[in-house]
């Protein structure tokens, strides 16, 4: 499949009082039309920064420096997002690439009705009159499964449940019929029943519209349910990438194995005194990353004479499986 979005060698560096801090380093991946790519990893691994870099929502230079290439197949042809003037990027942002966030209450305006907020997005990207935009907003609320959409359009955010607010955010993101949706942990604050409903909604919308999705999460259960491919990030780098089924069945990076082993399992919970496995230590401070493998201080497979000498690059294990580990061959046995 040809890439809708192609990210190559993306790096993000923030200016601080103690010097420049590298948040992302050498991140590369692609997303095809109609595909769902999951990005997983602990907090501070670089998942959200990657999304914000694609959307050009990071602080401008010199506070933040973004390098690399981000190519997107827009409606009028291929474009380089990092080279676009801000006025042109405004048309892409929300128009062709939309983003929904983890907590809708931080994104929705508390003093405006839901319908008017969605109508504003319609007006910004599709034009037309206010009456037509409001009608389109009600159609979108109905599309995402909100009952009695016309009445709910006149509700304020605090009058909706968490699941309804997240559906309203998805409706707003779909207002301009984007080709790519970036979902940054959109189900984390929801209970499991509502979470399942949101995932079903995204799958249905994807089937109907051919939408490509980047789904950022730390929940591997969600990944197994929704993602075609999975990207594992650690300390600002991609450490493993593979089709989701292959990754979950046979992970090759010790960090990926640690994440999978940390998922609670019913059979283990039923054993008296059984403790949930956890990855020792913490993600390294980006100001003081190890010079060699960044996961080495926490890795059970680490050998100082191998893993403590050089930082491994991404190595192709199979046609669609890449891993960043000097010892993956021994792990694969």
Report yes or no: 7 and 28 within 8 Å, Cβ to Cβ: yes
Same domain for 136 and 90 = no
Q: What's the confidence (pLDDT) of residue 1?
A: 53
Question: Picking from 121-130, 146-155, 164-173, which range would have the lowest pLDDT averaged per residue?
Answer: 121-130
Decide: residue 131, CB within 10 A, 0-12 exposed, 13-18 middle, 19+ buried. exposed
What share of the chain in percent tops pLDDT 90?
57
| Residue 64 Cα distances to 6, 11, 19, 50, 85, angstroms | 21, 10, 12, 13, 17
Neighbours of 20 (CB within 10 A): 12
Position 198 in a domain: yes
Domain boundary among 145, 162, 177: 177
Q: Are residues 83 and 193 in the same domain?
A: yes
Average the pLDDT over 230-239 and give the result: 96
303 located within any domain: no
Asked whether the CA dihedral 44, 46, 47, 52 is positive or negative, the reply is: positive
Q: Taking the CB of residue 217, how many other CB atoms lie within 10 A of it?
A: 23
Looking at the structure, tell me whether residues 10 and 30 fall in a common domain: yes
Sign of CA dihedral 278, 281, 285, 290: negative
pLDDT at 333 over 70: no
Confidence of residue 107 (pLDDT cuts 50, 70, 90): confident
State yes or no: pLDDT of 270 exceeds 70.
no
* Interval 292-329: pLDDT, tens: 999 999 999 999 899 988 899 999 998 899 999 999 99
pLDDT of residue 89: 93
Instruction: Indicate if 11 and 151 belong to the same structural domain.
Output: no
Domain shared by 159 and 229, yes or no: no
**Last-in-domain residue among 128, 146, 177:** 177
> Between 263 and 260, where is the model more confident?
260
263 in a structural domain: yes
Q: Can you list the pairs that 79-86 forms with residues at least 24 positions away whose Cβ atoms lie under 8 Å?
A: 81/54, 81/56, 82/56, 84/56, 86/56
Is residue 86 a part of any domain in this protein? yes
Instruction: Give the structural domain span for 116.
Output: 106-177
* Residue 21 included in any domain: yes
Same domain, 54 and 118: no
Distance between CA atoms of residues 219 and 264, nearest Å: 11
Indicate whether 219 pLDDT > 90. no
Closest C-alpha among 99, 53, 52 to residue 211: 99
Distance CA 229, CA 269 (A): 29
Bond into 62 cis (ω within 30): yes
Do both 82 and 190 map to the same domain?
yes
Question: In 3D, which of 240, 216, 222 has the Cα closest to residue 55?
Answer: 216
Q: How many domains does the chain have?
A: 2
Q: Is the domain of 70 the same as that of 185?
A: yes
- Reported as a single tens digit per residue, the pLDDT across 271-291 is 777 777 889 888 998 888 888
* CATH number, position 11: 3.40.50.300
- Are both 186 and 147 inside the same structural domain? no
> What pLDDT is recorded for position 26?
94
Q: Of 162, 177, 192, which one is at a domain's C-terminal end?
A: 177
Determine, yes or no, domain membership for 275: yes
Same domain, 203 and 252: yes
Most confident of 72-76, 142-146, 211-215: 211-215
């Amino acid at each position: 499949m040809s890439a809708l979005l192609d990210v190559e060698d993306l790096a993000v560096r923030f200016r601080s009082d103690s010097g420049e801090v590298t948040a992302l380093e050498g991140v590369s991946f692609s997303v095809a039309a109609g595909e769902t790519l999951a990005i997983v990893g602990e907090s501070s691994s670089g998942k959200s920064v990657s999304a914000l870099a694609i959307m050009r929502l990071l602080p401008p230079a010199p506070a933040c420096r973004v390098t690399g290439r981000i190519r997107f197949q827009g409606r009028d042809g291929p474009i380089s997002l990092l080279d676009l003037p801000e006025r042109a990027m405004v048309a892409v942002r929300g128009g062709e690439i939309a983003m929904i966030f983890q907590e809708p209450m931080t994104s929705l305006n508390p003093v405006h009705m839901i319908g008017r907020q969605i109508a504003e997005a319609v007006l910004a990207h599709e034009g037309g009159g206010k009456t037509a935009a409001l009608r389109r907003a009600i159609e979108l609320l109905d599309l995402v499964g909100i009952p009695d959409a016309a009445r709910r359009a006149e509700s304020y955010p605090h009058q909706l449940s968490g699941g309804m607010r997240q559906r309203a955010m998805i409706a707003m993101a779909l207002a301009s019929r984007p080709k790519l949706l970036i979902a940054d942990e959109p189900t984390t604050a929801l209970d499991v029943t509502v979470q399942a409903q949101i995932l079903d909604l995204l799958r249905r919308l994807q089937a109907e519209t051919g939408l490509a999705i980047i789904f950022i999460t730390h929940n591997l259960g969600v990944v197994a349910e929704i993602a075609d491919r999975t990207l594992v990030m650690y300390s600002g780098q991609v450490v493993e990438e593979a089709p989701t089924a292959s990754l979950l069945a046979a992970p090759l990076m010790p960090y990926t194995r640690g994440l999978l082993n940390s998922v609670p399992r019913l059979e283990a919970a039923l054993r008296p005194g059984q403790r949930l496995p956890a990855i020792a230590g913490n993600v390294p401070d980006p100001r003081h990353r190890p010079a060699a493998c960044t996961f080495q201080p926490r890795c059970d497979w680490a050998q100082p004479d191998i893993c403590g000498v050089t930082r491994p690059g991404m190595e192709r294990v199979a046609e669609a499986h890449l891993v960043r580990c000097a010892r993956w061959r021994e792990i694969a046995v």
